[in-house]
Amino acid sequence: MMDGALIPLLLAGVPLLGALVSLAIRSNPDRLKLSSIIWSVISFGAIIGLSVRLVTPPEGLLPLYLLPLAATASLLGQPAHENHRRSSIMTLVCLGLGVGTLTGRDVSGQLFLMALIVSVIVLLYRHHTALWPISWWGIGSFGLAVLCVGISFVSGPPLSSVASLLTCAILLPLLPFHNGYLTALTRLPGSLPSFIVLLLPAVGLHGLATVMLAVPDIVAWTVSLFALVGALYGAMKALAQSRVRLLLAYSSLSFFSMLWWFAASTQTTTPRAAMLVGAVGLATSGLLIAWQVIRTRYGDDVDPQSVSGLASVMPQYAVLFSLLGLAAMGLPPFGVFAGFMGLLFASPLTSSVALLVLLIAWLAASWYILNMGQRLLFGRQRSELRSDDLCRSELFSLLMVVLILIALGVLPASLFEPDKSTPPTTTITGSFAWNK
């Protein structure tokens, strides 16, 4: 019988081992891609198989299940190309560190988290360019996150709680600590942004589940204020973006801010919150993969303005992109809608102004996401551009994301909730490893 403390290490070890194996075959991009996908799938299998022996966190195990799926979809969606060797390997590394953070206890979880953030910092540094000076802010944000993890590790409450809250605000982006998240989504190469977009918020939510119980009311009130402003700010910024990754980053910031508001208002996080985080992350991940499809054809630094009229020449792509768009703007039957509604009905609505702000931000999403889809799919067909429809792996990748989003939307919410028969294992000071 395996010791319960070893299971997190085992789960984290599978993708990390995969990364090592993949590193050995990195000279062949095709084999590397295949290997990475296989290790992600094995990781998913391992999580499914061992999840019954894991301590269930308050937000449930949904984020844990979604991580390897998102990694698989991201790896499937990127081409087997020499430029993407590093991102394939790093996807596995981040998966391993993320799984370790979500499942690890005490020190191990904290070390995994620190390693994850440091990995992101290193990657951001390597992909820094003088034409994008703002990425220093992102690197700085993640540096602050590392510092906060360290502080929460060595200090006691209330400093540790504040430090943990800050870490959460950087990972699950909250205004004004969102720069790291934005930079990661816009500057990381290949399949990483489409994976990171789920990984960082999932890890952030995991920390938040514990932290919110400990924060004083005034802090919670302040957080909810930041969340409302963030929801509007994200929506407004997304409206003004022409670049797809930035638009999606701000869009998801807006949605995650909504979650922050719910969490701050109720001072709890529930599996419904995990559902919203998972669905928003996955929908954004799907759209990032869809954008990767465009980048694969027209170059990594293609200007979105140069691409239009894809609906007639890439019909499969157009259909899946449209479905992902519908999911991302929060329409039924996708998970974002279910998550949002679940939280809305489960929360005591104390402020109609707050509700109005949230609805405005939600409605704005249907404007900017539709607008983005309209620009890419319709308009003048560019005959001077090659337009090959989805290849098989891209099709599988996008289809997989769409199906998961539908599943999240239509499956009963109780499916993702912790088993009521087992006694709750979470206490304020207990399981959350960042909080000493």
Instruction: Please list, residue by residue across 81-110, b when 16 or more beta carbons sit within 10 angstroms of its beta carbon and e when fewer do.
Output: eeebbbbbbbbbbbbbbbbbbbbbebebbb
Q: What is the Cα 54 distance to its own chain's centre?
A: 22
Residue closer to other proteins by CB (options 42, 302) is 302
Q: How far is CA 237 from CA 142, 289, 369, in A?
A: 22, 21, 12
Q: Give least dist CB 125 to other proteins, A.
A: 17
Whether the Cβ atoms of residue 293 and residue 317 lie closer than 8 Å to each other: yes
d(CA 302, CA 294): 8
Interacting residue with other proteins among 1, 27, 386, 421 (CB under 8 A): 386
DSSP state of 414: G
Interacting residue with other proteins among 306, 316, 425, 429 (CB under 8 A): 306
Interacting residue with other proteins among 27, 305, 352, 421 (CB under 8 A): 305
Q: Which stretch binds other proteins (CB under 8 A): 80-88, 153-161, 219-227, 347-355?
A: 80-88
- Angle (CA) 240-245-246 rounded to 5° is 35
Q: What is the largest CA-CA distance in the chain?
A: 63
Interacting residue with other proteins among 26, 105, 128, 297 (CB under 8 A): 297
d(CA 407, CA 393): 21
Q: Does 126 bind other proteins (CB under 8 A)?
A: no
Size of the site for other proteins (CB under 8 A): 28
Q: Give least dist CB 121 to other proteins, A.
A: 21
Q: Give least dist CB 406 to other proteins, A.
A: 29
Q: Does 299 bind other proteins (CB under 8 A)?
A: yes
Residue closer to other proteins by CB (options 305, 421) is 305
Interacting residue with other proteins among 388, 419, 425, 427 (CB under 8 A): 388
DSSP assignment of 343-401: HHHHS----HHHHHHHHHHHHHHHHHHHHHHHHHHSS---TTS------HHHHHHHHHH
307-336 residues in contact with other proteins (CB under 8 A) are 307
Q: Give least dist CB 87 to other proteins, A.
A: 12
- Angle (CA) 4-9-15 rounded to 5° is 135
Whether the Cβ atoms of residue 128 and residue 135 lie closer than 8 Å to each other: yes
Residue closer to other proteins by CB (options 383, 421) is 383
Q: Does 419 bind other proteins (CB under 8 A)?
A: no
Q: Which stretch binds other proteins (CB under 8 A): 155-163, 164-172, 224-232, 384-392?
A: 384-392
Q: Does 68 bind other proteins (CB under 8 A)?
A: no
d(CA 323, CA 149): 38
Indicate the burial class of 353 (C-beta count within 10 angstroms; 0-12, 13-18, 19 or more): exposed
Q: Which stretch binds other proteins (CB under 8 A): 112-120, 270-278, 347-355, 378-386?
A: 378-386
Beta-carbon count within 10 A of 165 CB: 24
Residue closer to other proteins by CB (options 272, 295) is 295
389-408 residues in contact with other proteins (CB under 8 A) are 391
Q: What are phi and psi of 104, to 5 degrees?
A: -70, 155
Q: Does 109 bind other proteins (CB under 8 A)?
A: no
Q: Give least dist CB 41 to other proteins, A.
A: 22
Q: Give least dist CB 131 to other proteins, A.
A: 4
Both tokens assigned to 1: 């019988």
Interacting residue with other proteins among 3, 27, 129, 414 (CB under 8 A): 129
d(CA 324, CA 279): 11
Interacting residue with other proteins among 303, 350, 367, 424 (CB under 8 A): 303
Q: Which stretch binds other proteins (CB under 8 A): 74-82, 93-101, 143-151, 227-235?
A: 74-82
Residue closer to other proteins by CB (options 386, 420) is 386
Radius of gyration of the chain (CA): 20
Q: Which stretch binds other proteins (CB under 8 A): 257-265, 304-312, 356-364, 416-424?
A: 304-312
233-292 residues in contact with other proteins (CB under 8 A) are 243
Residues of this chain that interact with other proteins (CB under 8 A) are 79-81, 83-84, 129, 131-132, 243, 295-307, 383-386, 388, 391
